[in-house]
Structure 1
Amino acid sequence: MNFEGLKKEEIRVELEDSKYMVIRTELCDAGTGTEEEAAERIRRRSFNRKFRLPVRVDMDGITARYEDGVLTVTVPRLFRQPQIDCTGLHQTCKPLAPAA
């Protein structure tokens, strides 16, 4: 996401109920000028978006990076090895490779 002109401290990435990721901007300083100019700066810099996360997500592995006005959030998925019931078979069973 392009947040050019914002400071790193003005961007918040939060997790909500382990189901949603919320990205919002918080204006740290309205700056100088008239009330109308300050209100316009706040309006242009205001952002609040909620994203539903996939079911299997590595919550501890989520990272966010803000560089050159671009916010990059990485949400890694969890992959489980499928279990195979080998009861009664005379051969060695190995788990299948995870689907890509």
Structure 2
Amino acid sequence: MALSSFFGRRNNMWDAVADPLEAMVTLFDNAPATSFARDARAVASTSVDWKETPSEHVFKADLPGLRKEDVRVQIEDGRTLSISGQRQKEEVQKTDTWHRVERSSGSFMRKFRLPESADLDHITAKVDSGVLTVVVPKVEKKKKLEARRIEIGGGASSQPAAIAHEEKGEQNGAASTTPAHAPH
């Protein structure tokens, strides 16, 4: 019972270990409303979903109240997708009395290592109703080339060399097709 009240409502005492980001958000949610806690919450509470389909990777980030000018999406270090931005603090007037400040402000950044199948040249991003959607298409898998023998032309014959395709059994020109065995 002590674990339940300390960690909040959890099904398992290891839930906080399984999701350290959630544990950090919970920690900052329960922290006093200091400027540091609000800024840290801005980083920790940027929720991102990553879904893979047969043709693409789709990232969705909840960014309520942000404009596209407040957000940066880029590729770093070759294959790392970086989503970052800035939530602006509300202007404070000396005549205002704040009773509660819960909305976070500050910088946020999330990074994701993309797989080899990601087509880095055709990434798109858009913001709609406070949700950033980043689509990373997959490159088509390259067909594994089969071993093939290339006939050598020349000598008495003036015909060009032909390429024998093992997989289709086709012949180019007058050369014969003899399968080659690739060393392992």
Equivalences for 1:10-25 in 2 at 5 Å? 10-25=70-85
Work out the CA distance in 2 between the residues paired with 1:91 and 1:13. 48
TM-score by length of structure 2 reads: 0.41
Work out the CA distance in 1 between the residues paired with 2:120 and 2:63. 24
Provide Cα deviations, 1:51-97, integer angstroms capped at 9, x if missing partner: 001113221101111111111111112121221224364824xxxxx
Q: CA deviation at 1:47?
A: 2.1
Partner of 2:105: 42
Partner of 2:90: 31
Partner of 1:58: 119
Work out the CA distance in 1 between the residues paired with 2:73 and 2:66. 14
Work out the CA distance in 2 between the residues paired with 1:42 and 1:4. 12
TM-score by length of structure 1 reads: 0.69
Query: Which of 105, 123, 129 is matched with 1:68 structurally?
Result: 129
* Bigger-Rg structure (1/2): 2
Is 2:162 the counterpart of 1:84? no
List alignment gaps of at least 5 residues for structure 2.
1-60, 150-163, 171-184
Partner of 2:65: 5
Runs of 4+ displaced beyond 6 Å: none
Q: CA deviation at 1:12?
A: 0.8
List alignment gaps of at least 5 residues for structure 1.
93-100
- The higher relative CO (CA closer than 8 Å, separation ≥ 6) is in 1
Secondary structure of 1:9's counterpart equals helix
The Cα RMSD (Å) is 2.9
Identity %: 33
User: In the alignment, is the contact (CA less than 8 A) between 1:20 and 1:52 conserved in 2?
Assistant: yes
Q: CA deviation at 1:41?
A: 4.0
